[in-house]
Amino acid sequence: MIEDCDAHGRRNSFLVNKSVVIYIKHSTKRLSPWSFTFNRDHMYELVELARLGDCFIVLVCGIDGNAVVSLKALTALLNGCESKSAFVRVSRKRNSMYAVYGPDGKLERQVARGLGPVVQAID
């Protein structure tokens, strides 16, 4: 079962099987790197959504594919960022996985294309 979690007037978050939250951000840029902005309202919304279950952020990279990061990983990338908004940048070289960067560094491991982590959490 998929429910809309539209608490802030945006249709970008969904609750699947009452246990997994999917939060979607989209970049229309065609080629790497793709940038995604997270302001304080977005982060407050994610914290609220995390109370419903495991929370995953799906970063849709134009027509290339998508990279999925957990809320814990996103928080680590944005940790210490005191501005009103922060960015997450995703890049991918040909035939490789996504590298995900934030103001506080980059993810230790690259992220595979697709919704693998979300599917695993739902099962």
Where the chain has pLDDT below 70, the residues are 6-10, 80-83
- Domain hosting residue 67, numbered range: 2-122
Give residue 9's pLDDT.
Answer: 66
Total domains in the chain come to 1
Pairing of strands 20-27, 13-16: antiparallel
CA gap 57, 12 in Å, rounded: 10
- SS3 of residue 90 by DSSP: strand
Of the CA atoms within 13 Å of residue 92, those in its CB half-sphere come to: 23
H or E element that contains 54: strand 54-61
CA gap 69, 83 in Å, rounded: 22
Q: Is the dihedral of CA 7, 12, 14, 20 positive or negative?
A: negative
The strand pairing partners of 27, in sequence order, are: 61
